[in-house]
């Protein structure tokens, strides 16, 4: 599955065909679907309750703050930071922000968590232990973004992947992590980009 994920992310970030946001949504949905087929969802596993909503919303806001600080520090330290960050926001240029918002909120964010945390991280933790499994899952999540050839994007993926991985380890529930990812990504890429 890791090889498939790497291949899909290569197509998403490196190959110029089609629309970036559609490619990443389809890729994430494919990985999520395959992971669910291998490891079926258990009754109540995707239950959305008050705690999940609160945890998801607060963690999304917290991650936004981390990225705001990270952008500020990176721009002060690295001359290449601003152009690379601009390139991230330039992906899929010309795509309706409404479409980007709904794809990230309803498809990409949820599907990425179902695959990267619920399936990959969970299985790596079972095989190698809590912290080694989390580190490996984070490294693979950041690593597949190498096809962007964008240091800032790879770093951002590492930070976000580590953050959501820690939440999943702590809460032992995927629903609040899905909410966090879906809200954070849809807001940061289409509503309130980090200034």
The one-digit pLDDT tens for each residue of the chain (195 residues) are: 899 999 999 999 999 888 999 999 999 999 999 999 999 999 999 999 999 999 999 999 999 999 999 999 999 998 999 999 888 888 878 889 999 999 999 999 999 999 999 999 999 999 999 999 999 999 999 999 999 999 999 999 999 999 999 999 999 999 999 999 999 999 999 888 887
Residue 18 has a pLDDT of 87
Does the residue 104 lie in any domain? yes
Residues 6+ apart with CB under 8 A from 100: 21, 92, 186, 189, 190
Does the residue 43 lie in any domain? no
Distance, in Å, from the CA atom of 27 to the CA atom of 135, rounded to the nearest integer, reads: 23
Q: Between helices 50-77 and 81-89, what is the axis angle to 10°? A: 140
Residue 87 has a pLDDT of 87
Does the residue 46 lie in any domain? no
Residue 24 has a pLDDT of 96
24-31 long-range contacts (CB < 8 A, ≥24 apart) are: 24/108, 25/103, 25/107, 25/108, 25/111, 28/107, 28/108, 28/111, 28/112, 28/115, 29/107, 29/111, 31/1, 31/4, 31/5, 31/111, 31/112, 31/115
Distances (CA, A) of 70 to 39, 134, 158: 35, 22, 12
Residue 148 has a pLDDT of 93
Does the residue 195 lie in any domain? no
Residue 192 has a pLDDT of 87
Distance, in Å, from the CA atom of 108 to the CA atom of 103, rounded to the nearest integer, reads: 6
Q: Classify 98 as helix, strand or coil.
A: helix
| Tokens at 179, concatenated | 């909410």
Does the residue 45 lie in any domain? no
| Tokens at 160, concatenated | 């976000």
CB 47 within 8 A of CB 173: no
Does the residue 76 lie in any domain? yes
In percent, the amount of the chain with pLDDT more than 90 equals: 86
- Confidence (pTM): 0.94
CB 24 within 8 A of CB 12: yes
Residue 54 has a pLDDT of 98
Can you give the residue range of the structural domain that contains 66?
Answer: 2-38+52-190
Residue 90 has a pLDDT of 82
Residue 194 has a pLDDT of 80
Into how many domains does the chain fold? 1
Does the residue 99 lie in any domain? yes
């Amino acid at each position: 599955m890791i090889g498939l994920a790497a291949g899909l992310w290569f197509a998403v970030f490196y190959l110029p065909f089609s629309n970036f946001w559609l490619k990443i949504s389809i890729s994430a949905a494919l990985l999520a679907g395959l992971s669910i087929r291998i490891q079926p969802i258990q009754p109540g596993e995707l239950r959305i309750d008050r705690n999940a909503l609160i945890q998801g919303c607060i963690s999304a806001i917290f991650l936004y703050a981390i990225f705001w600080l990270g952008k500020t520090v990176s721009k002060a330290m690295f001359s290449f930071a601003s152009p690379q960050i601009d390139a991230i926001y330039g992906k899929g240029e010309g795509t309706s922000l409404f479409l980007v918002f709904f794809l990230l909120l309803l498809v990409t964010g949820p599907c990425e968590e179902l695959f990267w945390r619920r399936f990959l991280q969970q299985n790596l933790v079972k095989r190698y232990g809590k912290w080694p499994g989390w580190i490996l899952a984070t490294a693979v999540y950041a690593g597949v973004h190498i096809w962007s050839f964008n240091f800032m994007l790879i770093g951002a993926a590492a930070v976000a992947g580590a953050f959501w991985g820690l939440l999943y380890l702590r809460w032992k529930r995927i629903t609040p992590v899905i909410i966090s990812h879906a809200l954070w990504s849809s807001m940061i890429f289409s509503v309130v980009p980090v200034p």
